[in-house]
Structure 1
Amino acid sequence: MFPVLETQLTRYRDLEQQLYDPVIASDPAKAGAISKERGALAKIVEPYIEYKNLCTAIADAEAMAADPDLKAMADEELADLRPKRDALHAKIEDQLLIDPSEDFSNLIVEIRAGTGGDEAALFAGNLYEMYTRYVREKGWKLEELAFSPGEAGGFKEITFSVSGDDVYQFLRYESGGHRVQRVPATETQGRIHTSAATVAVMPEPEEAQVVINEAADIEWERMRAGGAGGQHVNKTESAVRIWYKKGTPDEMEVKCQDGRSQGKNYEQAMRILRSRLFERQQEKLHRERSDMRKSLIGTGDRNARIRTYNYPQNRCTDHRIEFTAYRLDSIMAGDLEQMVQPMRDHVRKEKLAANSAK
């Protein structure tokens, strides 16, 4: 069992009872606060309730198996119940290992072409397609925020948001350098080229978490969009460029041109700026804790090479955990789980080992 969850279960049931209290029900503010706390607890308490029910059912089936006449039926039930219990046990352990300060349901992803010219931009486009398909398979929501197309296709840079349950827990380890080895379409002699792109996965914070003084901290201008996008995009000044603390060491620039309205582009640019600032805060926090960190996994350093995509060998390798899958075609088609899950399993083992050593 999980002693810490027994305490949370008691609190969860207490909150349920409070919601039935007519005095609390007549106070919208108090009822709203209780509902919010109960909702936050439900994410881990409800699986724990299901886990306890499974444990009880298994105990009953094991007792029934002692009767020779019922043993066959009991064994059949146990064959079904035990895997469900074990899977739920692992899920609960995973939830307990998540730092509440790192449990985000909204994030922003930036993909940038690196070395390799047009081929790097094409690869950045391939990565975007891979993530788009993966997000669709997971049932999450993707929203394109800003992009700069490559001259031969793909993207010099593309930024998009992803929202849904546990998105950060699945995608957080995608940050870093992604390298591709393949024969470019423009290569006439069949030589393999190496190109690269970088991926940055940034939690999208609430506005209260990153305060920006729009009067003092930023400057912005409207301008015409460039590149493809149709007559409307190119002939109206709907694009927006924002500078954060222009002319200082902290300067940061964000440009959005893909929305049809200036207001929409400004809103999206501020979302990107807020996530970049939050990422900067997180990096500072990680540096302050660096003496406590035994592993480089999950630092989010976009300059560190994390993965190689080798097309001739149909191979994808994660260099951090020395894991290789020879199914690159299916990975690029959106079956990214075969790379994501081994990394999550590795990090989980690290955390469990660290906790047991305390």
Structure 2
Amino acid sequence: MSHTTPAFRLLRPLVAAGVALAATASVASAQVAGLSGTLVVTNKTPSTATIVDVGSGRTLATLPTGTNPHEIVLSPDGSLAVITDYGGERKTLTVIDVPGLKVARTIDLGEHRAPHGIVFLPGNRLVAVTCEQTRAVVVVDVVEGVVRHAIATDAGGSHMVGVTADGTRGYTGNMRDHTVTALDMTAKRAVRSYPVPEVPEAINVTPDGKEVWVGSNKTGQVSVLDPSTGAVTRAAEGLKWPYRMLFTPDGRQVIVPDPTLNEVRFIDRAARRVIGILPLPGAPQGVTITPDGRHVFQSLSAETRVAVIDPATRTVLGHLAVGGTPDGVAYTTRVVARP
């Protein structure tokens, strides 16, 4: 059931097959006072990405990606969305020209297999991507469409990656080795491995690099690693699948969706304790937040939509229509002109 406010209107989407531009698959979902911009979402099962005008809820385009797209990032200027194509024989990134509402290029990663976690390095050109099957993080120039170099993690199942704000340090969670690897992004090498609770999937690092937050799929625990000492502190427990770690822009909260429990947890970062739980049916997975911290976008993998959440009240304001089995979500304040 949808939770709405008077300012939030929901209209049913029209469904279109293949590449659906808004002119032919026009739908619109929602309006929230003061909320605008563009959302790009990966749809795993149909292998597509949906571009949504957040202000109106209108689907601007549904574009093809590589097989089984999982994660997505947007360049800081909002011009490029880069998607990891996790499945299939070809190992690729799909680069979308967001203002142009089209696929700009597909980047073949060559020997580097199972690309998954992805972050932009400072600027609008380079991304760091985990390649799970080849135990590496590769740095890719998404403008030129080439792999610049690879950094070996020396660990099994390097799935997600977090990078400090200055782009000098990266951290991967190694799901098969139950470790976190610290990477010197400048020297292009792994510098240290830390033991953490088993099967660490979700991972993120604070912008200043002082805390690495990690979720354990085995224990359901959220932990904080101090990379200067290797100390690991418990921040939350009782989860089943702490899927992702999202810091609010003010650094005060960590938002953790759990698709098994069908809930989103809000953790006080300084106190390291849960301060709120939002029940959210639909298997919440990918999550992102607006730069002002006022709205969270939470994909619902068991549904064809993204929930819009007010993190202050921890309530669902409404939903945006996307494609099947949505996962990665990325937001930009940039408004794309409608066709």
**TM-score normalised by L of structure 2:** 0.24
Give 1 or 2: higher helix fraction. Answer: 1
**TM-score normalised by L of structure 1:** 0.23
Give 1 or 2: higher strand fraction. Answer: 2
Which structure: larger Rg? Answer: 1
